[in-house]
């Protein structure tokens, strides 16, 4: 069996998968955090407790009579989540989450030094933490302060010692993937010493084995290999099976993340699109928006999603126009730290409001793909949907209609499965990551767009583009490209559809 662990925003999930991808055991534990405007923090000790609970639940769920031997495990976390620890891995600060936006000034200073970062990236947050927790160095003592990603903390406790980080999580901390090194000169100019930063390895690299203490609290046998993981967006991409050039995976959870596969990195001078390195070569470009399903929970905390989905089809399009940001600021498909959620007009009913939010996410998703096209990123492969939002059949079809694209829904799509696939590859059970995914990721449904509905949503999409441009958030060349692309004929098929004529 292969284990994948996913540290999400609202909880931790652990999955045990067989060589064919069958789920043999799963466990979960909730997480809570502190939000207040641009602030979003979680407790590192809560991460560890939730991981222990989820792993224990997965092992307990293995069918009776089946061996509980785990071939290897890998862990993914939220991209850009970071904290400071001492040299032994003990937390000195809370964990600043992926969308904590308080490091705006630090991000501007880093960009002045030539580092293309966004305010929510880990590097500016490291600078912010060093100022906010000025006594951290004193508490660290002789071991010194260390930059630690969310997964680093968990894996170090599993193996019983500090470990290297993976290049996927290191990306938003400023790691240069092309040169395969930390930008030490630029970091030094920001007052950040080389000794603060961990060693970096490629995802899938063996980091160590479960130690005696890890066995005692999780039930995983000591000696179980632990391999370097990736960010949750990359993990979901692996679970989707989208690992061929030109393919894209759209992950709709609390927020929206798009990940693709290209033979060369996609260059973006604004830093909105960034490139992860695939574990076995190639590039995984993508971006993460602050728009997502989290906006539904904020607007309708006690809603019955299935009931509102059933009513939403009477509001196509909705009478209001939404850009449903979950938190302050936007980071993809444009960079606008001051952007705020939009709801233009007055909804006629709860169902109309719900429909506007669903459609707003779909319009944002279309703009993300238009921006990637603007940058020259190939999109001639399959498009897959994963994430919690993909559990809504109505929303899936709506998104396919708005995009005008054929969409593939994998049999399973959770990041924890992606990490189980990576664990199998890292342990040598498959020659390439794509081979491991082919064996362990099954194909589910295929959705085809309905051209009449695609045309129906064109006007509100272009209106949203105009509103974003008017506010100075969306650059004019990007808006112009979106309008040009929208003028293309509506098609019922696309090159990513294997059954297209």
Torsion, Cα of 422, 228, 382, 431 (10° steps): -50
Model confidence pLDDT, tens digit, residues 232-260: 989 988 998 889 899 999 989 889 999 99
Residues 352 and 384 sit within 8 Å (Cβ to Cβ) = no
CA distance 376 to 371: 9
Residues 253 and 292 sit within 8 Å (Cβ to Cβ) = yes
Residue 346: CB atoms within 10 A of its CB come to: 9
What is the 8-class DSSP label of residue 271? S
C-alpha angle 468-478-288 in degrees, rounded to nearest 5: 75
Q: pLDDT class for 495, splitting at 50, 70, 90?
A: very low
Model confidence pLDDT, tens digit, residues 1-17: 999 999 999 999 999 99
| pLDDT on residue 489 | 65
Every domain range in the chain assigned CATH 3.30.420.40: 2-229, 242-486
Helices 476-486/350-374 angle, 10° precision: 100
> Which pairing describes strands 248-252 and 274-277: parallel, antiparallel, or unpaired?
unpaired
| pLDDT on residue 492 | 46
| pLDDT on residue 142 | 64
Q: pLDDT class for 497, splitting at 50, 70, 90?
A: very low
Q: pLDDT class for 490, splitting at 50, 70, 90?
A: low
Separation in Å, CA 205 to CA 12, 69, 164, 208, 297:
22, 20, 10, 9, 38
DSSP 302-320: T--HHHHHHHHTTSSS-SS
Model confidence pLDDT, tens digit, residues 196-228: 999 999 999 999 999 999 999 999 999 999 999
Model confidence pLDDT, tens digit, residues 270-317: 889 989 999 987 899 999 999 999 999 999 999 999 999 999 999 999
Query: Region 78-85: what's the mean pLDDT?
Result: 96
Phi, psi for residue 159 in degrees, rounded to 5: -95, -15
Give me the CATH code for the 242-486 domain, please: 3.30.420.40
| pLDDT on residue 242 | 87
| Average pLDDT of every residue of the chain | 93
Which residues partner with 385 through β-bridges? 250
Residue 458: CB atoms within 10 A of its CB come to: 17
Model confidence pLDDT, tens digit, residues 45-71: 999 999 999 999 999 999 998 888 899
| pLDDT on residue 499 | 37
Residue 67: CB atoms within 10 A of its CB come to: 7
Query: Region 62-90: what's the mean pLDDT?
Result: 94
Which residues partner with 30 through β-bridges? 11
Query: Region 309-332: what's the mean pLDDT?
Result: 95
Query: Region 470-478: what's the mean pLDDT?
Result: 97
Q: Classify the C-alpha dihedral 331-336-339-345 as positive or negative.
A: negative
Contacts of 475 (CB under 8 A, 6+ apart): 334, 469
What is the 8-class DSSP label of residue 220? P
What is the 8-class DSSP label of residue 29? E
- The CATH class for the domain spanning 2-229 reads alpha beta
| pLDDT on residue 476 | 97
Contacts of 176 (CB under 8 A, 6+ apart): 182, 183
| pLDDT on residue 388 | 86
Instruction: Using CB atoms within 10 Å of the CB of residue 492, give its burial: 0 to 12 exposed, 13 to 18 middle, 19+ buried.
Output: middle
């Amino acid at each position: 069996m292969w284990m994948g662990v996913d540290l999400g925003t609202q909880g931790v999930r652990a999955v045990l998968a067989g060589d064919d991808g069958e789920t043999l055991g799963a466990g979960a534990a909730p997480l809570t955090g502190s939000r207040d405007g641009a602030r979003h923090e979680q407790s590192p000790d809560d991460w560890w407790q939730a991981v222990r609970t989820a792993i224990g639940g997965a092992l307990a769920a293995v069918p009776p009579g089946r061996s509980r031997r785990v071939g290897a495990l890998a862990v993914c976390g939220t991209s850009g989540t970071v904290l400071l620890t001492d040299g032994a891995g003990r937390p000195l600060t809370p964990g600043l989450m992926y969308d904590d936006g308080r490091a705006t000034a630090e991000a501007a200073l880093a960009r002045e030094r030539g580092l293309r970062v966004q305010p929510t990236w880990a590097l500016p947050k490291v600078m912010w933490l060093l100022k906010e927790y000025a006594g951290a160095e004193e508490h660290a003592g002789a071991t010194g302060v260390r930059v630690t990603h969310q997964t680093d903390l968990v894996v170090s406790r599993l193996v019983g010692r500090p470990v290297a980080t993976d290049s996927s999580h290191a990306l938003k901390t400023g790691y240069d993937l092309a040169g395969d090194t930390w930008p030490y000169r630029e970091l030094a100019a920001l007052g950040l010493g080389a000794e603060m930063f961990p060693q970096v390895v490629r995802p899938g690299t063996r980091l160590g084995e479960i130690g005696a203490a890890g066995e005692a609290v999780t039930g995983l046998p000591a000696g179980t290999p632990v391999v370097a993981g990736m960010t949750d967006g990359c993990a979901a991409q692996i679970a989707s099976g989208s690992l061929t050039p030109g393919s894209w995976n759209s992950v709709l959870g609390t927020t929206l993340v798009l990940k693709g596969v290209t033979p060369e990195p996609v260059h973006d001078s604004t830093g909105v699109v960034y490139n992860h390195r695939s574990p076995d070569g190639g590039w995984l470009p993508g971006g993460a928006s602050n728009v997502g399903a989290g906006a539904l929970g904020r607007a309708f905390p006690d809603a019955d999603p299935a009931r509102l989905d059933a009513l939403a089809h009477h509001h196509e399009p909705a009478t209001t126009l939404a850009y449903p940001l979950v938190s302050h600021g936007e980071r993809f498909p444009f960079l606008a730290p001051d952007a705020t959620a939009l709801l233009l007009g007055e909804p006629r009913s709860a169902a109309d409001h719900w429909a506007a939010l669903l459609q707003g996410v779909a319009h944002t998703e279309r703009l993300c793909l238009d921006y990637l096209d603007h940058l020259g990123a190939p999109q001639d492969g399959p498009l897959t949907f994963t994430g919690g939002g993909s559990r809504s059949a109505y929303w899936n079809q709506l998104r396919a209609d708005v995009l005008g694209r054929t969409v593939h829904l994998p049999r399973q799509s959770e990041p924890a499965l992606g990490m189980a696939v990576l664990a199998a590859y890292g342990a040598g059970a498959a020659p390439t990551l794509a081979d491991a995914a082919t064996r362990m990721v099954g194909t589910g449904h295929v959705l085809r767009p309905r051209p009449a509905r695609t045309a129906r949503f064109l006007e509100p999409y272009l209106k949203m583009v105009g509103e974003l441009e008017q506010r100075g958030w969306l650059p004019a060349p990007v808006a112009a490209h979106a309008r040009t692309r929208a003028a293309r004929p509506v098609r019922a098929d696309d090159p990513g559809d294997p059954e297209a004529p």
